Structure 1
Amino acid sequence: MQQSPGTRPKGLERQVSSDQIEQLHRRFKQLSGDQPTIRKENFNNVPDLELNPIRSKIVRAFFDNRNLRKGPSGLADEINFEDFLTIMSYFRPIDTSMDEEQVELSRKEKLRFLFHMYDSDSDGRITLEEYRNVVEELLSGNPHIEKESARSIADGAMMEAASVCMGQMEPDQVYEGITFEDFLKIWQGIDIETKMHVRFLNMETMALCH
């Protein structure tokens, strides 16, 4: 049975209006083909995703149990409207009515969502290989950058992350990867609001998710 657009995940009541819920429900029905759930293949015909170099990671994030708040690892086969709202809540822009604590919590949740996109094996760390994979995908559309160059860029960024998070390292010290706490340090002072967009929703919901 199709879920009511009034269905909201826990904690979303004060985050979006009833009109925005209705708008998201219409987009959900478009994506699902008027079915009660969305599967990964429903994203195949979304024009704004076709040329995105990290398309697979974006789609995967919608089904990641960590983002759905259903467990520490694994992927869901399909998501219902309540799950869809849970994912969309990560993209809600900062509201002027929020106090300082709420703003910080919203920022941290956005960064956690982004962290999960990098941490593909759900072990709580972004390893060098995982980071290389993301950088290679991001640069895959640039014919002037070879794979080895992309790997060098990733390696340099990881060394910088180690420097930011651990300071001066001993010659024999190994940086095992970026933890979420490290990730927060790296993103300190960077406006996450301008980095997270959901352009492919492409309806009135842009006011909510852009």
Structure 2
Amino acid sequence: MGNTSSMLTQYDIEEVQEHCNETFSQQEIVSLYKRFCQLDRSGGGFISSDEFLSVPEFAVNPLSQRLLRMLDGLNFKEFVAFLSTFSSCATLQQKIEFIFKVYDLDFNGKVTFNHMLDVLRDLTGSYISEQQRQQVLTHVLDEAGYAKESSLVLADFIKILGSSGLKMEVEVPVD
């Protein structure tokens, strides 16, 4: 499975299904493998940042640079596991864990006000002022029972987003 020019075996498909908690059907995994091979232009079995940025929808995403630090160098199993977060079969917990990783800029298991402000800055660009961003974020934290000085851990994100009705879904086209 390391060489993208080879075809997936039934064993490979089942292994990937197990790795992503049965989120995708076997047919979806085969389709994802074809897409992975298209993205892996070097044929090395991994997708680089540049290869990810060749996807127009990804390149224009305001969080693409944050996502790249999570994606650079993914092999096929990791690629499918990443995409499984966006499946309708993924649990709310899996989706929240993914969001937490986007905010946890230094990978220390904590998200600070400044981390959240950085993400908000990426999302809003020049549409709102820095002062407005800080006010909005301070208000959201206050409503959730946290202070500006708080460092949030994954359990805090689960508490805050757990009842939000969060939707993060992408359909996998099946050939």
For normalisation by structure 2, the TM-score amounts to: 0.79
Give the equivalent residue in structure 1 for 2:50: 41
Return closer, same or farther for 1:47/1:113 CA change in 2, 3 Å cut-off: same
Unaligned runs of 5+ in 2: none
Counterparts of residues 135-150 of structure 1 (less than 5 Å): 135-140=120-125, 142=126, 144-146=127-129, 148-149=130-131
Which of 162, 168, 172 is residue 205 of structure 1 equivalent to? 172
1:152-192 CA-partner distances (Å, limit 9, x unpaired): 424542453244245xx7xxxx7332221111121132122
Check if 1:108 corresponds to 2:93.
yes
Which of 38, 42, 45 is residue 30 of structure 1 equivalent to? 38
Unaligned runs of 5+ in 1: 64-77, 95-102, 199-203
Instruction: Measure the CA separation in 1 of the matches of 2:135 and 2:154.
Output: 19
- Secondary structure at the aligned position of 1:91 is classed as coil
The residue type paired with residue 2 of structure 1 is N
Which of 86, 90, 93 is residue 91 of structure 1 equivalent to? 86
TM-superposed CA distance for 1:130, in Å, is: 0.7
TM-superposed CA distance for 1:131, in Å, is: 0.9
Give the equivalent residue in structure 1 for 2:150: 176
TM-superposed CA distance for 1:19, in Å, is: 0.5
In 1, are the aligned partners of 2:113 and 2:151 still within 8 Å (CA)?
yes
In 2, are the aligned partners of 1:165 and 1:182 still within 8 Å (CA)?
no
Give the equivalent residue in structure 2 for 1:18: 26
Give the equivalent residue in structure 1 for 2:67: 58
Instruction: Measure the CA separation in 2 of the matches of 1:14 and 1:40.
Output: 27
The residue type paired with residue 46 of structure 2 is T
Instruction: Measure the CA separation in 2 of the matches of 1:135 and 1:13.
Output: 31
TM-superposed CA distance for 1:42, in Å, is: 0.7
Return closer, same or farther for 1:24/1:133 CA change in 2, 3 Å cut-off: same
Instruction: Measure the CA separation in 1 of the matches of 2:111 and 2:149.
Output: 11
In 1, are the aligned partners of 2:39 and 2:51 still within 8 Å (CA)?
yes
For normalisation by structure 1, the TM-score amounts to: 0.67
The residue type paired with residue 48 of structure 2 is R
Return closer, same or farther for 1:11/1:32 CA change in 2, 3 Å cut-off: closer
- Secondary structure at the aligned position of 2:144 is classed as helix
Return closer, same or farther for 1:155/1:179 CA change in 2, 3 Å cut-off: farther
Indicate the RMSD between aligned Cα atoms, in angstroms. Answer: 2.6
Instruction: Measure the CA separation in 2 of the matches of 1:158 and 1:112.
Output: 22
In 2, are the aligned partners of 1:49 and 1:55 still within 8 Å (CA)?
yes
Instruction: Measure the CA separation in 2 of the matches of 1:84 and 1:57.
Output: 16
The residue type paired with residue 87 of structure 1 is F
